[in-house]
Amino acid sequence: QSVLTQPPSVSEAPRQRVTISCSGSSSNIGNNAVNWYQQLPGKAPKLLIYYDDLLPSGVSDRFSGSKSGTSASLAISGLQSEDEADYYCAAWDDSLNGSYVFGTGTKVTVL
Amino acid sequence: QLQLQESGPGLVKPSETLSLTCTVSGGSISSSSYYWGWIRQPPGKGLEWIGSIYYSGSTYYNPSLKSRVTISVDTSKNQFSLKLSSVTAADTAVYYCARLSITMVRGVICWFDPWGQGTLVTVSS
């Protein structure tokens, strides 16, 4: 059972903007950096955002991350059909001697 | 360009031990900047961190799996391995290996990148 909660799904039309929320606690998001991963159908996850709001080289700037308190968000602007994927937030959790926890995952559908 | 590749049996019998190896190419597993980890994903479900290891052998394990998991490293082969004992059908999943970047600046900053392509392990008699 994940300690980071995300909406199961979000959908929007092409060229629009979507936001995915990730809710945690003081032992994870509240104290440590948040990352976001994109998982295209049938593929391995790919790092999308690290250290709350940083983009790895090669990731489109249509993706952006933010964090406030014990919650984080991923925004996708100018939505494209190739953005249709599962998205996971993740962070280190300080409880129980430390562990890396993933969010429940959000399926993004481009209408 | 760093690449990771999982290998091991695709079918394991219940109560037996699942064994996988991750081979790292394009870089050294002995780099002081990184840990190495295993993550799994049951069919149709989300991601679950299994554990991570440093080249020195220092490990972190998911508390919910700790009693059954052993992760080891072989620096001479640039590989690290996963053993999961007493498996059941609930351990059926795609298993990924990945590099973990980790640092501490007012909290833990860590992320997995890159990932291997993953390997499906089915637990069935």
In tens, the pLDDT along B89-125 reads: 999 999 999 999 998 887 889 999 999 999 999 999 9
pLDDT of residue B117: 98
Chain A contact set for B113 (CB, 8 A): 46-47, 50, 56
Instruction: State which residues of chain B have pLDDT below 50.
Output: none
Contact (Cβ atoms closer than 8 angstroms) between residue B52 and residue B62: no
pLDDT of residue B10: 96
Residue A1 has pLDDT above 70, yes or no: no
Q: Give CA separation, B47 vs B23, B50, B57, B77, B88, in Å.
A: 21, 10, 24, 28, 18
In tens, the pLDDT along A5-55 reads: 999 999 999 999 999 999 999 999 999 999 999 999 999 999 999 999 999
Residue A94 has pLDDT above 90, yes or no: yes
Q: How far apart are CA B69 and CA B92, in angstroms?
A: 15
Residue A3 has pLDDT above 90, yes or no: no
Residue A55 to chain B, least CA–CA distance (Å): 12
Burial (CB < 10 A; 0-12, 13-18, 19+), residue A97, is exposed
pLDDT of residue A26: 95
Residue A96 has pLDDT above 80, yes or no: no
In tens, the pLDDT along A49-91 reads: 999 999 999 999 999 999 999 999 999 999 999 999 999 999 9
Nearest to B63 among A35, A96, A102 (CB): A96
B96 close to A (CB below 8 A) = yes
**Tokens coding B4:** 């990771």
Nearest to B49 among A46, A94, A99 (CB): A99
Check CB contact under 8 Å for B37 and A33: no
B67 close to A (CB below 8 A) = no
pLDDT of residue B104: 82
Chain A contact set for B62 (CB, 8 A): 99
A32 close to B (CB below 8 A) = yes
Residue A64 is inside which H or E element, if any?
strand A63-68
| DSSP states of B52-120 | EE-TTS-EEE-TTTTTTEEEEEETTTTEEEEEE-S--GGG-EEEEEEEEEEEESSSEEEEEEEE---EE
